Amino acid sequence: MLAVNRVTKKYGGFTALEDISIEFTKGVYALLSPNGGGKTTLIKMLVTLLFPTKGEILWDGSDISSLGEEYREIIGYLPQDFGYYKNQTPRTFLNYLAALKGIEPGTAKKKTEELLRLVSLGDVADKKMRKFSGGMIQRVGIAQALLNDPKLLILDEPTAGLDPKERVRFRNLISELSKDRIVILSTHIVSDVETIANRVIMLKDRKILCNDTPSNICNTLKGKVYETRNTDAIPKPYFPLTQRQEDGYTYVRFVCDEECPGPAKPVTPNLEDVFLYVFRDEVI
């Protein structure tokens, strides 16, 4: 089990995270917050790239910074917008990272082949990565995160750059992997979270706003989300969420804190509604 105990992270006078406590057991945890909300800071502390200013992070009861290699050995990490060696092939790059992860050469070779096939890069395994698209690089990143069969898989914006088909494949893969390990993912793409996350952790104003199942989080707006094509007829103050086009009309989805009589139809709230409503001051 991974436990974040009362962790605060400060950069000089700026507080990025304050008094965060979370416990992670098997399953998929999604971190949600707008840009600059502290997701990446929290993730970087979980992978020992940053150290808490206050508090501690424990793996099975031991501090992760004192565990060192023993802890990092069980991590698979896909950073957001990560770099790569342009002159190397994905095979060489994965072999190098396998060496850094302490995987024996024979095992590394086998695992590299297997993962390159899994992320559909088998055909370009010996091509230099300089000519790869963003989606291909993202798949290399996903493959490297899985090299050591990690007990703790941490993915920062994992579906960025993937096409819809790849995203669905990846979501299925995450679901499969989460059966016997902890998967923590941070994303802006709320639809990814809704389908695969067991729990959603929302960060707001440097603190945890909620840590619950997607359905419980959606229920916080139950009876408050409506849809209409005639916003002029809404009698109460409302907060617009999204718009969609249908039959030549623009349908507006909105939140109304009180019961909203008139032409608007109540709809079932989804995670995106909650996200937009909760972060309404911060959404650009």
Partner 1 sequence: MRIYRFELKKLLSSVAVWGFLAACLSVNMAFVCNSRDPYGDFIGTVSKQTGYVLNNDFYDKLSKLTVEKAHADYLERLKIETENVEDVFEGYNAKRIGERYIEAAKLEGIFAEAMRHKYTRLQKVTDEKAKSDESLSLYFAGSTYYRHQFLFNDLIGVLLTEGALASVLLALLAAGYEGIYRTENLVYSSKKGREILRPKLFASLSAGVMFYALLAFITFLVYFGINDFGGIGKSFVSSVFNYRIDLIAGDRPFITWQSFTVQTYLLAVLFVGAGIVLCFSLMAFGIGVFVRNSYISFFLFLIANAATLALPLQMPLNSIGYAVISVIVLSPVTLWLKHGLWFTDGDIDIVWTHFETLGLFVSLVVLTAFCLLALHYFRKRNLT
15, 19, 34, 50: residue in contact with partner 1 (rule CB under 8 A): 50
Please, what is the minimum distance in Å from the beta carbon of residue 251 to partner 1? 42
Region near partner 1 per CB under 8 A, out of 94-102, 166-174, 224-232, 274-282: 94-102
Are 30 and 217 within 8 A, CB to CB? no
Our CB check for partner 1 shows the closer of 108 and 274 to be 108
Please, what is the minimum distance in Å from the beta carbon of residue 101 to partner 1? 5
Q: What residues between 100 and 139 interact with partner 1 by CB under 8 A? A: 100-102, 105
Any idea which residue has 């010996």 for tokens?
126
Our CB check for partner 1 shows the closer of 57 and 97 to be 97
Our CB check for partner 1 shows the closer of 22 and 129 to be 129
* Own/partner long-range contacts of 47-55 (Cβ < 8 Å, ≥24 apart): 47/72, 47/75, 47/77, 47/154, 48/72, 50/9, 52/7, 52/8, 52/9, 53/8, 53/9, 53/10, 54/6, 54/7, 54/8, 54/19, 55/4, 55/5, 55/6, 55/7, 55/8, 55/19, 55/20, 55/21
Please, what is the minimum distance in Å from the beta carbon of residue 14 to partner 1? 11
Please, what is the minimum distance in Å from the beta carbon of residue 75 to partner 1? 6
Our CB check for partner 1 shows the closer of 16 and 221 to be 16
Please, what is the minimum distance in Å from the beta carbon of residue 237 to partner 1? 41
Is residue 97 a contact point for partner 1 (CB under 8 A)?
yes
Angle between helices 134-146 and 90-100 (to 10 degrees): 30
Our CB check for partner 1 shows the closer of 15 and 191 to be 15
Please, what is the Cα angle at 171 between 120 and 201, to 5 degrees? 140
Contacts of 103 (CB under 8 A, 6+ apart): 111, 147, 148
Please, what is the minimum distance in Å from the beta carbon of residue 150 to partner 1? 10
Q: What residues between 58 and 87 interact with partner 1 by CB under 8 A? A: 68-69, 72-73, 75, 77, 79, 81-87
Residue 255 to residue 7: CA distance in whole angstroms:
33
What is the length of the chain?
Answer: 284
Our CB check for partner 1 shows the closer of 69 and 123 to be 69
Q: What residues between 145 and 174 interact with partner 1 by CB under 8 A? A: 148
1, 6, 11, 54: residue in contact with partner 1 (rule CB under 8 A): 11
101: which 2 tokens? 């992860």
237: alpha, beta or left? (left if phi > 0; alpha if psi -120 to 50): beta
Instruction: Give me the residues that bind partner 1 (CB under 8 A), please.
Output: 11, 44, 47-51, 68-69, 72-73, 75, 77, 79, 81-87, 96-97, 99-102, 105, 141, 144, 148
